[in-house]
Amino acid sequence: MAGTYTLTIIKPDAFAAGKAGKIIAHLEQQGFRVRAARVMHLSQDQAGEFYAVHRERPFYGSLVKFMTSGPCMPMVLEKDNAVAALRTAIGATDPAQADAGTVRKLYAESKERNAIHASDSDENAEREARFFFAESDVIAAR
């Protein structure tokens, strides 16, 4: 799957605001294809484990609270060079710093409530995809 797939999450702020469809349309327009998707309300344990790498950061508690505040939408996306392409498409963590036309510039509220997650490496994309999906849930690459 390296290079071809990445894992994204439409976060609870964007999902609750009814922006999921617009975000998916935006990404499809840019050539991403949805290969697995679900709607789920993360538990404290799930959000804590997903963001375990940030456990020591000052925003960790607030981040876990935000990510458990309502349903979100994890998806596996396919595109050539998917990880780098999606990082470019979503823009900087803080929407105030994000380039024009990026998902976060268009749809994020703040640095924390920033609409969307994207894996930052092929290794993490694989790990994060397995966090939410069984291998049989992911539609095979072209």
Active site (catalytic) residues: 117
**The dihedral formed by the CA atoms of 59, 62, 65 and 70, expressed in degrees to the nearest 10:** -90
Q: Which is nearer to ligand ATP, 33 or 87 (CB)?
A: 87
In the chain, the amino acid numbered 119 is: S
Q: Which is nearer to ligand ATP, 105 or 140 (CB)?
A: 105
Q: Does 114 bind ligand ATP (CB under 6 A)?
A: yes
Structure tokens at 1: 């799957």
Beta bridge partners of 37: 75
Q: How far is CA 83 from the centre of its chain?
A: 11
Q: How many residues does the chain have?
A: 142
In the chain, the amino acid numbered 93 is: T
Q: Does 131 bind ligand ATP (CB under 6 A)?
A: no
The partner in contact with residue 63, picked from ligand ATP, Mg ion, none with C-beta cut-offs of 5 to 8 angstroms by kind, is: ligand ATP
Q: Would you give the binding string for ligand ATP spanning residues 23-52, x where CB under 6 A is met?
A: ------------------------------
Compute φ and ψ for 115, nearest 5 degrees. 75, -35
User: Which of 77, 81, 107, 83 shows the shortest CA–CA distance to 95?
Assistant: 107
Instruction: Pick the binder of ligand ATP from 93, 130, 135, 141 (CB under 6 A).
Output: 93
Q: Would you give the binding string for ligand ATP spanning residues 61-90, x where CB under 6 A is met?
A: --x---------------------------
Residues that bind ligand ATP (CB under 6 A): 54, 59, 63, 93, 111-112, 114, 117-118, 120
